[in-house]
Amino acid sequence: MEHRRLGRTGLRVSAIGLGTMTWGRDTDEIEAKDQLEIFLDAGGTLLDTAASYCEGASEEVIGRLLAGVVDRRDVVLTSKAGVRTWRTGERSTAADASRGTLLDTLDDSLKRLGTDHLDLWLVQVPDATTPPEETADALRTAVATGRTRYVGVSNYPAWASVHLAALLRELGGPGMAAAEVEHSLLSRGIERELLPAAAGIGFGIIGYAPLGRGVLTGKYRATTPPDSRAASPHLRSYVAPYLGERHHGVVEAVATAAAGLDRKPVEVALAWARDATGIASTIVGARTPGQLRGALAAEELVLPVQIRRALDEVTALDLGYPERF
């Protein structure tokens, strides 16, 4: 598998990363172990998790695997913080990128993961209630104390990413290494402003959900499989936005391209996202080892220019003022 530099840093990541959002809940530890071994055997290194995934269970599973199955140095370990959870009758969450919450969450993550440092640590979502200067200083502190090698953001718009990158530069240290954002044939919004900003400033882009939250695999073309994410009480709302008629044409275009290449739709969708301009790595999440093997079959697939151009045209963004410049 190809490895690429993350922006202008010295950190190299595999072109496909392994997401662990379902580990510890929909994916049990045995299946997680099989997935990690399949991924590493394929040459993958980027392992992505978050303190909020399955309320910490994802990190706990990874920690046990790193302790007994996999060498810590074989993975580029990424986690995220900045989502606070509390219970008042029902489970509630909110963005919280305050210094205390970020650093406390980081310490909890390191404990669950059984390591003294992350390779990349990200603020998971924007927090409009915390001054960005405070968030930036927490990121600087995490690097200065050795708890992470690199820092960045996730799900931030372009202007907020650029602002935080500028604050980190003012504070000294390594600056902002990456932004992790959704990117697929069903979600190309980052191409308007975030990708050009990243290229200009020098931080890398890690895409996630390259399969359109599973919709681009074609599994929902006729019905909703009972073992799918769209049927899961935990993930139903995650998949639902892409199940409408508005996205039907894109799903059919991917299926048509796959049939013409004698490949599976999952391979075409993943190859498109992996090789999109400006993307350092794209993170694929699978519930089972079999699903992961099917996705990694795209490793050697390079889409013909005509196929890529056709898919680009079907999903082209409307660029107005001033993005068209």
Single-letter code of the amino acid located at 310: A
Domain boundaries, the chain: 3-211+277-301
CB 263 within 8 A of CB 4: no
Asked whether residue 94 carries a pLDDT value surpassing 80, the answer given is yes
> Residues 184, 163, 20, 223: is their CA dihedral positive or negative?
negative
For residue 273, give the nearest of 151, 190, 160, 153 by alpha carbon. 190
CB 152 within 8 A of CB 184: no
pLDDT digits (tens, 9 = 90+) for 260-290: 999 999 999 999 999 999 999 999 999 999 9
Q: What phi, psi does 116 have (nearest 5°)?
A: -95, -5
Cα separation, 110 vs 117, whole angstroms = 7
| pLDDT confidence band for 296 (50 / 70 / 90) | very high
* 120 compared with 325, residue with greater pLDDT: 120
| pLDDT confidence band for 60 (50 / 70 / 90) | very high
CB 208 within 8 A of CB 20: no
What is the maximal distance between C-alpha atoms in the chain? 54
| pLDDT confidence band for 231 (50 / 70 / 90) | low
pLDDT digits (tens, 9 = 90+) for 237-259: 777 788 778 889 999 999 999 99
Among the residues of 47-155, which ranges form H helices?
57-68, 99-113, 132-144
- pLDDT score recorded for residue 169: 95
Q: Cα separations (Å) of 89 from 57, 68, 86, 141?
A: 21, 38, 9, 35
CB 120 within 8 A of CB 148: yes
Whole-prediction pTM:
0.94
Q: The tokens of 51 are what? A: 């303190």
Cα separation, 257 vs 145, whole angstroms = 49
pLDDT digits (tens, 9 = 90+) for 127-138: 999 999 999 999
Q: Which CATH number fits domain 3-211+277-301: 3.30.930.10, 3.20.20.100, 2.60.40.10, 3.50.50.60?
A: 3.20.20.100
CB 292 within 8 A of CB 286: yes
Asked whether residue 297 carries a pLDDT value surpassing 90, the answer given is yes
CB 209 within 8 A of CB 235: no
Block residue for tokens 């006729």: 222
Average pLDDT value over all residues in the chain: 93
To the nearest whole percent, how much of the chain has pLDDT over 90?
A: 82
Asked whether residue 91 carries a pLDDT value surpassing 70, the answer given is no
